[in-house]
């Protein structure tokens, strides 16, 4: 049975503008479980998920209790892996004829000299009105940046180098488990004098999914988002869905914009380094995407 690594965007877990409640997340996860359940009948499944809204919420809750020093971002990332992984596993396990589901707390090595540490760019947490920027930066010491029409916190997003727990993931896959791992891009680790230690950052989950798919020798990488395909001239009357593209044709979309950019970069990297196929599309179309009936398929010419 072929292996499919799926990267779930943060909007798949929680719609933009929704209250960050457990009930709302479970509603979104019910849709995810249905789509994943169909895929699991045909493929070995690995799920990598985002955590931007969730880890931002944990950071705010962390700051609210002033009697205890704030926990660092790597620990909050681990907390978000447990929270989201638990919720996904619960719902996936409720499907009829469900395969076993396991969540792996996953550590990912990054380079301590990565320039991303000097230029934070990864959005986390809820959105704010732009006029609140100075107050938020003064109150919390955050760096803020516009995300569309709204303001969000940004943190460093170094490139993943290796996945420390890939062997455990591989063993579970061999036992036919659906594996949830590398949540939020994984817990970022840097090498120090006494071994690896966590660092304040959030790794891009699409880039980690691409790396994991290569480490597992997976046949396919699928990046699911709120767009049903990659579009030429997006947002204009001339917008056109791209169904079959090469890495070179997709490369103009791989801009560091925090939206389609990392997805395109991850897909290009996987295809060029393995010669296999990657897909980008909407969660609701997951099974049709891997059959190349919907979404965008990225492949070598």
Sign of CA dihedral 170, 171, 175, 179: negative
Which among 125, 184, 263, 295 is annotated as catalytic?
Answer: 263
Residue 277 appears among annotated catalytic residues: no
Q: Is 11 a catalytic residue?
A: yes
DSSP codes joined into one string, 118-173: GS--EEEEEEE-GGGHHHHHHHH--EEEEETTEEEEEE--PPEEEETTHHHHHHHH
Name the catalytic one among 37, 50, 52, 122.
Answer: 122
How far out from the chain centre does Cα 97 lie?
Answer: 27
Q: Is 10 a catalytic residue?
A: yes
Phi, psi dihedral angles at 160 (to 5 degrees): -70, 140
CA distance linking residue 30 with residue 28, whole number of Å? 5
> Is 5:216 a contact under the CB 8 Å cutoff?
yes
Cα–Cα distances in angstroms (integers) from residue 3 to residues 11, 104, 118, in the given order: 24, 17, 36
* Residue 217 annotated as catalytic: no
273 is catalytic: no
Cα(22)–Cα(240) distance, rounded to whole angstroms? Answer: 36
> Of 9, 11, 52, 56, which is the active-site residue?
11
Catalytic entry in 10, 77, 125, 295: 10
- Out of 56, 125, 205, 281, the active site residue is 205
Q: How far apart are CA 278 and CA 298, in angstroms?
A: 5
Active site residue ranges:
10-11, 122, 205, 263
């Amino acid at each position: 049975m072929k292996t499919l690594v799926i990267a779930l965007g943060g909007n798949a877990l929680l719609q933009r503008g929704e209250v960050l409640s457990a009930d709302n997340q479970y509603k979104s996860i019910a849709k995810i479980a249905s789509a994943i359940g169909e895929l699991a009948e045909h493929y070995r499944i690995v799920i990598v998920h985002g955590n931007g809204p969730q880890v931002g919420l944990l950071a705010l809750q962390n700051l609210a209790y002033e009697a205890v020093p704030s926990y660092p971002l790597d620990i909050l990332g681990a907390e978000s892996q447990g929270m989201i992984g638990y919720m996904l596993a619960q719902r996936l396990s409720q499907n009829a004829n469900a395969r076993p589901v396991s969540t792996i707390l996953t550590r990912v090595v990054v380079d301590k000299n990565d320039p991303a540490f000097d230029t934070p760019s990864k959005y986390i947490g809820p959105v704010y009105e732009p006029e609140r920027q100075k107050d938020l930066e003064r109150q919390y010491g955050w760096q803020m940046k516009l995300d569309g029409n709204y303001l969000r916190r940004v943190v460093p997003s170094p490139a993943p180098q290796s996945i420390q727990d890939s062997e455990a993931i591989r063993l579970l896959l061999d036992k036919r488990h659906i594996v949830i791992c590398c949540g939020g891009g994984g817990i970022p680790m840097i090498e120090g004098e006494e071994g690896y230690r966590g660092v304040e950052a959030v790794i891009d989950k699409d880039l980690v999914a691409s790396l994991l798919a290569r480490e597992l020798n997976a046949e396919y990488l699928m990046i699911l988002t709120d767009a049903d395909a990659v579009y030429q001239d997006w947002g204009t009357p001339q917008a056109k869905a791209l169904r079959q593209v090469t890495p070179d044709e997709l490369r103009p979309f791989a801009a560091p914009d925090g939206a389609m950019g990392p997805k395109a970069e991850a897909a290009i990297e996987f295809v060029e380094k393995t010669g296999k196929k990657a897909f980008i599309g909407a969660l609701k179309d997951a099974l049709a995407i891997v059959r190349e009936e919907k979404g965008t398929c990225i492949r070598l010419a």
